[in-house]
Amino acid sequence: MKSKIALAISIALLSACSDRAPSEADFRSAIDQYLAASGAACFGLGKQFPAVLNAMELTHGVGRQFVALEGAGVLQSKAEGSGKTFAVASGAEQWFAEQTGKSVGLAVTRQQEGRLCAGTMQADQIQAITKTAKPGEFLVNFTFRLADRPAWATQPTVIDAVPKLAALVNGERLHTPRALRVLAAEGTLRVIDAQPH
């Protein structure tokens, strides 16, 4: 992913000897944990939920995505004047992520930020592990696969209508390489971020 994720996942190396070189399996495990925890297979819908779309939005851009997701059983809607209000369909909550809203004064409000997860991204092939100029730091190039992809995320109509889902699906199909910086220190591997500095 181009955006940096400020999350670090550490795993213990599989040997009691902490000074051994980490293996490909060690890097794969650290990367898989990082990708799962960071929601790498998730994408935003551009609206807070319940999402109110006016008539123009329904026929362009985000509306096309919402209509396709409703057809796949992920969202449900009700008419609101010339527009519609969309909510997460019953049974689809497992793929929907909720984000905590902003603080207003001393109070914190919770808002549902529309975000869906199309399974879990996992490392498929580790293509290269390269030491960087920084001590203990490696740049790991890999391709990915989408595990546990729900049925709705395989439907061509949904993939066509949701560009961020299409990017994930095409990235898997075309073996698009990704890169993560990984720090090996004190017997652990820690993913730092997606781009080397």
Instruction: Say whether pLDDT at 45 is over 80.
Output: yes
Q: What is the pLDDT of residues 73-117, one digit of tens each?
A: 999 999 988 899 999 999 999 999 876 544 344 455 555 567 899
d(CA 23, CA 26): 5
What's the rounded mean pLDDT across residues 20-30?
A: 86
- List strands edge to edge, sheet with 112-117: 42-49, 112-117, 96-97
Q: What are phi and psi of 123, to 5 degrees?
A: -65, 135
pLDDT, the chain, mean: 80
Instruction: Say whether pLDDT at 161 is over 60.
Output: yes
47, 87 Cβ separation under 8 angstroms: no
Q: Is the model's pTM score more than 0.85?
A: no
Band of pLDDT at residue 177, cut at 50, 70 and 90: confident
Band of pLDDT at residue 23, cut at 50, 70 and 90: confident
pLDDT recorded at residue 109:
53
Strand partners, 44: 115
Q: Where are the domains of the chain?
A: 10-41+118-191, 44-115
- 105 or 139, which is more confident: 139
DSSP H helical ranges for 50-196: 55-59, 62-71, 156-161, 163-173
Secondary structure (3-state) at 103: strand
Instruction: Say whether pLDDT at 12 is over 50.
Output: no
